[in-house]
Chains A and B, each alone.
Chain A
Amino acid sequence: MQEFLQQLVNGVSWGSIYALIALGYTMVYGVLQLINFAHGDVFMLGAFFGYYFSRWTKIAQEPTLLGFFATLFFAMAACALVGIIIERAAYKPLRARPRLTVLITAIGVSLLLENGGQLVFGADPKFFPSLIPESRLYESASLVVSNLPVIILTVSIALMLLLRFIVMKTTIGKAMRAVAFNREAASLMGINTNNVISFTFLLGSALAGAGGILVALTYPKIDPLMGLLPGLKAFVAAVLGGIGNIPGAVLGAMILGVSETMVAGYISSTLRDAIAFALLVVILLVKPTGLLGSRVGEKV
């Protein structure tokens, strides 16, 4: 029983990491219907921005809570900037083009960030400083809960609620929903769609940056390819929950995280990835638009 609880804790904390990345995916998708494959790499950049910033400002040597927030803020701001640059330079010129074209550009950007990252940062893994020291919240013979997963989970849920608030209650959120619903009509209604899309990228990339920092705290090995797999899995999670749906992304991420952990812990660790994907296939076959996604009526 205790071991099962431990696995559940492991699964939820791993799922909350997927959730952090999946949120950004799902937002961009909701507004642009674009699978932003570079998202996982922006997440990687977030970790590296934090790494260099904390070393340069000497926060890494003497970690304080203030220093941690400064690092987090810097990484988020830098990633937001990168996100806007990527959107303006690589996606915006293709706005009127088929989605597949933009998708290939997104893959191109992703390759560029990965290969460029290997040249600029070096291919060897870096050690991310412990900005928040690890401590035990609960400890018994066979169940251990430490602070970092709890922090990550809290942050993901807080971000989800914040996003939900922005999208549902603010003017810009309303504009985002309008653009998502029908870009042309929204633009006819006087909404500056370009600004809305840029804002979405800003928000999504800042989230990825925050994700990079938080993940690097728990898994302090960072390298230029670290965004590849979590990025893909987070995307799977977003689809699982119904892509474009914010609570769906968190739900999908949790299901993926917990099922991966359970499979690795109880069935076979080598089959983990296969079973995670098999689960996805089954869920999508039963509910083709994801758990919380809604089917948009097709126009003839």
Chain B
Amino acid sequence: MRKWVIFGLILAALSGCAKKEDVIKIGEFGGLTGSTATFGISTKNGIDMATEELNAAGGLLGKKVQVIVEDDRSLAEEAASAVKKLVTQDKVVAVLGEVASSRSLAGAPICQENKIPMVTPSSTNPKVTEIGDYIFRVCFIDPFQGEAMAKFAFDNLKVKKAAIFKDSKNDYSVGLAQYFAETFQKLGGQIVAEESYFEGDQDFKAQLTSIKGKKPEAIFIPGYYTEVGLIARQARELGLNIPLLGGDGWDSPKLTEIATIKKPGDALKDCYFSNHYAADDPNPVIQDFIKKYQAKYNEVPDAMAVLGYDAANILYDAIKRAGSTEGAKIRDALAQTKDFPGVAGSTTIDSARNARKPLVVLKIAEGGKYEYTATVNP
């Protein structure tokens, strides 16, 4: 009984001491622990950087911005708890998050119901923004990236027989694979094998051996760098020396580090993936971002950090244009976002509240360097 009383008192004390400060509160929910923590943390780094820059430049509407971060342990039900807390307890004016579409889908109805705008940096499932008119995203949706890579493989690489190796636990990967297959077949290509793995797997040799037996000319692996590095190593180990193709989930300095057998990144040499930006692009927005990110976190930014940074900046820009922290006004301003110069390309929000922006195809060259190869416009 005593434990209960103490527990209640702590809870009461904590909820009672919420201070009223002159700040604009923004909520962020993400998987800072659990199975996909590495993406949650990168996103948070990007958002933190955008917020610091904003506050250093004087903040928003004359106030400082405070981002309240809640962890959801990479679970959908915890995401609902986190968003509920942010919206009803912290009274945030807008919400940023999540990486995984399933968690965004759990949080979005709560934002929609409370008329709090939500911007997801990297949830690609088309259903997320269909939840309602307060839900936005700043990344590509699955069809665009899958189609672009299929066209690139067929037209530029002249591949006629491709295999797909997808992460069937990950909706991003499943979505990309589906649209890649549809487009590739429409173009006249042939999908000779479709295998899958689960995120967190370490051994992929069984599936790769099976793919090898079907003799494809390229393999599309829409997954995250955490597994792709190992897949590339094991493919080469099995003597499977064909180009591997992927999406923005590949973008991380860790990718080529893991895919190193003798020389840096040699397991992925002459492979291609689609991304938001090319690091060798002279555009000052990009160069500036990379330099500052490296100075702050001592590592090269990955795609999640870039999208987190852009999502926060697009939201702040909308609040500035709205001139108010009212949900409906921020929503209207977000919906009018046009040609926003983000690191991940010039972003326009369309009528379905999805981002329209170009993607670039990068080639992994000698020494694990990414080389700009092509731009695809929506």
Asked if A and B form a direct contact in the complex, defined as CB atoms under 8 angstroms apart, the reply is yes
The interface of chain A, by Cβ under 8 A from chain B, is 3, 6-7, 10-11, 13-14, 17, 115, 118, 122-125, 127, 130, 133-134, 139, 141-142, 144, 146, 215, 219-221, 223, 225-226, 228-230, 260-266, 269-270, 272-273
Name the residue of chain A whose CB is nearest to the CB of B168: A270
Q: Which residues of B contact A11 (CB under 8 A)?
A: 206
State how many angstroms separate the Cβ of B42 from the closest Cβ of chain A.
Answer: 8
Alpha-carbon distance A122/B299, docked complex (angstroms): 13
Pick the contact of B203 from A6, A14, A130, A141 — CB < 8 Å?
A: A14
Name the residue of chain B whose CB is nearest to the CB of A140: B239
Q: Which residues of A contact B197 (CB under 8 A)?
A: 269
B367 at the interface (CB under 8 A from A): no
B344 at the interface (CB under 8 A from A): no
Determine whether the beta carbon of B258 is less than 8 Å from that of A118: no
Q: Which residues of A contact B32 (CB under 8 A)?
A: 123
Determine whether the beta carbon of B38 is less than 8 Å from that of A266: no
Q: Which residues of B contact A226 (CB under 8 A)?
A: 202
Determine whether the beta carbon of A261 is less than 8 Å from that of B205: yes
Determine whether the beta carbon of B237 is less than 8 Å from that of A265: no
Q: Which residues of A contact B37 (CB under 8 A)?
A: 118, 123
Per-position contact with A for B252-266: 1 when CB-CB < 8 Å, else 0? 001001101110000
Q: Which residues of A contact B38 (CB under 8 A)?
A: 123-125, 223
Q: Which residues of B contact A115 (CB under 8 A)?
A: 33
Determine whether the beta carbon of B206 is less than 8 Å from that of A264: yes
Sample of 20 A–B contacts (CB below 8 Å): A7-B206, A7-B210, A10-B203, A17-B203, A123-B33, A123-B40, A124-B38, A124-B41, A124-B42, A124-B254, A130-B260, A134-B237, A142-B212, A219-B203, A221-B202, A228-B200, A260-B206, A264-B195, A264-B210, A270-B196
Determine whether the beta carbon of A127 is less than 8 Å from that of B257: yes
Q: Which residues of B contact A133 (CB under 8 A)?
A: 262
B336 at the interface (CB under 8 A from A): no
Q: Which residues of A contact B42 (CB under 8 A)?
A: 124
B246 at the interface (CB under 8 A from A): no
State how many angstroms separate the Cβ of B253 from the closest Cβ of chain A.
Answer: 10
Name the residue of chain A whose CB is nearest to the CB of B42: A124
State how many angstroms separate the Cβ of A120 from the closest Cβ of chain B.
Answer: 12
Q: Which residues of B contact A273 (CB under 8 A)?
A: 198
State how many angstroms separate the Cβ of B177 from the closest Cβ of chain A.
Answer: 12
State how many angstroms separate the Cβ of A129 from the closest Cβ of chain B.
Answer: 10
**Most A CB atoms within 10 A — which of B209, B230, B237, B260?**
B209
**Most B CB atoms within 10 A — which of A215, A223, A226, A264?**
A264
Determine whether the beta carbon of B260 is less than 8 Å from that of A269: no
Q: Which residues of B contact A123 (CB under 8 A)?
A: 32-33, 37-38, 40-41
Q: Which residues of A contact B206 (CB under 8 A)?
A: 7, 10-11, 260-265, 269, 272
Alpha-carbon distance A115/B257, docked complex (angstroms): 25
| Closest 7 pairs between A and B when the two form their complex, measured CB to CB | A123-B37, A264-B206, A10-B205, A265-B206, A124-B38, A261-B206, A219-B202
Q: Which residues of A contact B205 (CB under 8 A)?
A: 10, 13-14, 261
Further pairs besides A229-B201, A273-B198: 9, Cβ < 8 Å: A14-B203, A127-B254, A127-B260, A133-B262, A230-B202, A260-B206, A269-B195, A269-B206, A272-B206
Determine whether the beta carbon of B258 is less than 8 Å from that of A221: yes
Alpha-carbon distance A14/B234, docked complex (angstroms): 13
B287 at the interface (CB under 8 A from A): no
Pick the contact of A264 from B34, B207, B233, B262 — CB < 8 Å?
A: B207
Determine whether the beta carbon of B213 is less than 8 Å from that of A3: yes
**Most A CB atoms within 10 A — which of B32, B35, B239?**
B239
Determine whether the beta carbon of A127 is less than 8 Å from that of B258: yes
Alpha-carbon distance A66/B40, docked complex (angstroms): 39
Determine whether the beta carbon of B261 is less than 8 Å from that of A219: no
Instruction: Please report which residues of chain B, range 197-225, place their CB below 8 angstroms from some CB of chain A when the two chains form the complex.
Output: 197-198, 200-203, 205-207, 209-210, 212-213
